[in-house]
Amino acid sequence: MPQHAEFEFVATCTRGAEPLLAAEIAAITGLGGVEERRGAVVFRGGLGHAYRCCLWSRLASRVLVVLAHFRCGAAEDLYRGIRRIDWLDHLGPDDTLAVDFVGVSDTIRSSRFGALKTKDAVCDAIRDRKGRRPGVDVANPRVRINVRLHDGVASVSIDLSGEALHRRGFDRQTNAAPLKETLAAAMLHLADWPTLCAEGVPLVDPMCGSGTIVLEAAGMALDRAPGLQRRFWGFTGWRGHHEPGWQGLLTEARDRARAKADDPLFVFGWDRDRGVLGAAKENARKAQVSVRLKCRNLADAEAPPCREALPRGLVVTNPPFGERLGELSEAGDTYALLGDVLRHRFLGWRAFVLAGSRELAGRVGLKPTRRIPIHNGPIECRVLQLDVSPDPVSGAGPGWR
């Protein structure tokens, strides 16, 4: 496959993060014409652009290289369309494959059936030319094929990512309801942290749990590529892969990380649970960043030293949602306490709070400057931007509200 060929790529993301991902990919690649789609963005460029996205994107879930689009109404349309692709450009009979299939039609009534039909077409095409079929390995294939069937059109791609990109290359210890790194990164982009961290603005997560938000913040501030520690990629077993180009990007990323390694880092994470804070410390060690972690109750939170300009600092946090019966009231009390602490002790700061429901958002007691819809898995949430007044307030909540 020609090294300098142009391809169509799709980068997937959580719903609501599409504008952020489009801007991030344009910044990473220097490409124009990045198009937003539902839960994804589309762009055209060379393999180097896609490799940069795999290595540097904090918002993308996967990066796919598109092989074909074709009309597909029936199962036989799918089989014929898949067979028309020259699969020997992508894998051989000694390789293994897996198929991810999304979508249904009148005759393709389940994703499992669509995946089996795709697998048969690929294996038959290679057997007809080489006399042998590739194997199937659902867990760790050499090549992962992605098919999306929507409005009668099938789109066939190779998954360049391997496992999902929110996995940053080390086994992260988590608490009961961990926040995905991609969603944490989206909150940080909404907070304009990539710009503010360069100005010395401090960042606090007063309920940091296993540390997802503070670790993402540290990685951004220290210019560490989020994929730098990953050891396996979907493109390494693909016949279209260009190893010298990839190695050049890795060298550049390592150089950038070394150049910022000794920069001061004003990132603070607090949590009342010593056990989960221990997990955060272990995660920070594995991520090779030195964030300031401390066991502290939310009620005792105080702003660390900050600048005079507004915003004086950032609070970015994911309070518990209280999804199970009996937990909602406790979660509401936590949101109310967070509002009290912000209004009394974080004067002039800007907060970005992930709220899992309208009721919880209302319990904070501060009027949001923005409410940004975003999905946390299947849950439609809001990121609340709260610009805390720099003027002191007297009296405990809820009297000040």
pLDDT (tens digit per residue) in 262-287: 999 999 999 999 999 999 999 999 99
Query: What CA–CA distance (Å, rounded) separates 77 from 173?
Result: 45
Q: Is the pLDDT of residue 229 over 50?
A: yes
Q: How many CB atoms lie within 10 A of CB 312?
A: 19
Residue partners of 346: CB distance under 8 A and separation at least 6: 204, 303, 312, 313, 315, 388
Residue 362 confidence (pLDDT) above 60: yes
Q: How confident is residue 375, by pLDDT bands cut at 50, 70 and 90?
A: very high
Residue 329: burial class (beta carbons within 10 Å; 0-12, 13-18, 19+): exposed
Instruction: Give me the mean pLDDT over the 27-42 stretch.
Output: 97
Within 10 A of 89 (CB to CB), how many other CB atoms are there?
A: 11
Q: How far is Cα 47 from Cα 55, in angstroms, rounded to an integer?
A: 12
Q: Is 344 helix (H, G, I), strand (E, B) or coil?
A: helix
Whole-structure pTM value: 0.94
- Exposure string of 203-225, with b = 16+ CB inside 10 Å and e = fewer, is bbbbbbbbbbbbbbbbbbbbbbb
CA dihedral sign, ordered 13, 19, 21, 22: positive
What span, in angstroms and rounded, lies between the C-alpha atoms of 21 and 58? 9
- Give the lowest-confidence range in 99-103, 160-164, 328-332: 328-332
Residue 140 is predicted with a pLDDT of 93
The answer on pLDDT for 39 being more than 70 is yes
| Separation CA 189–CA 162 (nearest Å) | 25
